[in-house]
Amino acid sequence: MRNFGYVRAATVPDAQESVGGQPDARFLAGGTTMVDLMKCGVETPSTLVDITRLPGLDGIEVGPDGVRLGSLARMSDVANDPRIGREFPVLSESLWRGASEQLRNMATIGGNLMQRTRCSYFREPASFPACNKRDPGSGCSALEGINRGHAVLGTSPSCIATYPGDFAVALVAFDATVVVQNGGRRAFTADDFFLLPGDTPHIEHPIGPADLILAVEVPVSAALRRSHYLKVRDRESYEFAAASAAVGLEMEDDGTTVRDVRIALGGIATTPWRARAVEAALIGRTLDEATVRAACAQVTEGAVDHGMNSFKIALAPRVAARALLTVGGIV
């Protein structure tokens, strides 16, 4: 780790000016991602701009029409908020199933969205210099390497790194927006905030280094109130998803017909992956096990495996179906 400067910002404009005015400066919030990346040599900032004391960015607000989570709200505070857990279970579940308790006590909502992939080829530059996400144009070591944990959807010849987070999967499923200060204020849908790798896997978000996430906003819906996050992984604690699903249901008055359904997948794609084809296949249908499993078979349409990660193509539809059947009260 090389020497670096440290600045504590007092206001949002001060923070943005500090980052924008210095080459290779970076924001620092909880530090659970940045410090890791500095230790392994992926990030070498000239200056860290501490934003943890910025006023008004750590709020948790629940209203009749939506939930607003400040970017500096701690993961654990949101996960443990009684109203969030009671009324919008997928938000709480996707947070407390991520990382460890110690990390959740430090990590922020904004930092969680900006976390980088856990691809070992990305995080070990000394051993694997070829990584287009870290060094554009250098190649992708994972294509012919150990790629059991890598993506099968949203990949490109330039990158097959899996998006590692849980919370963003829920945000994509429920049409959340990410509010950013970048000159003026701008709101991105969660779906648009996570970019597919294409030929530029090093560009992960449609914002610049001095743009600051202010909040995440999630509209209230009947499906959000009847929601669930299921995470399947190799071990129960402190492990990234082999496949996960954030789902929600709204039923017609007859109690058996699907009025609205939300499904997004994690652990299988380069971004949080919305399963819109599955949603379309279920709306207006009777909710039963056969129908759900048939619809969920479409989850991995178009998937491309690279050998070791082929199991995800079979696993993901089962995870999506199990999550839906759970929230539907069928299993």
CATH (domain of 289) = 3.30.390.50
pLDDT of residue 72: 98
Number of domain units in the chain? 2
What global pTM score does this model have?
0.97
Query: For position 236, what pLDDT does the model report?
Result: 80
In a domain, 22, yes or no: yes
Report pLDDT for 21. 79
Q: Position of tokens 């910002």?
A: 9
pLDDT in tens, 33-68: 999 999 999 999 999 999 999 999 999 999 999 999
> DSSP letter string over 117-138?
P--HHHH-TTT---BTTTSTTS
119-131 burial, b for 16+ CB within 10 Å, e for fewer?
bbbbbbbeebebb
The verdict on residue 163 lying in a domain is no
CATH of the domain at 25: 3.30.43.10
60 in any annotated domain: no
Q: Indicate whether 254 belongs to any domain.
A: yes
What mean pLDDT is reported for the chain? Answer: 96
**Percent of the chain's residues with pLDDT above 90:** 94
Could you tell me which of 237, 243, 285, 236 has the C-alpha nearest to residue 260? 285
For 200-233, the pLDDT digits (tens) are 999 999 999 999 999 999 999 999 999 999 999 9
pLDDT for 100: 86
Q: Is 90 exceeded by the pLDDT of residue 238? A: no
Amino acid 45: pLDDT: 95
For residue 44, is it within any domain? Answer: yes
List pLDDT tens digits, range 183-205: 889 999 999 999 999 999 999 99
pLDDT-derived band at 1 (thresholds 50, 70, 90) equals low
Q: Which residue range(s) make up the domain with 300?
A: 225-327
SS3 content of the chain, % helix, strand, coil (to 5): 30, 25, 45
Listing DSSP states for 195-207 in one string gives ---TT-TT--SSS
* Residue 63 within a domain: no
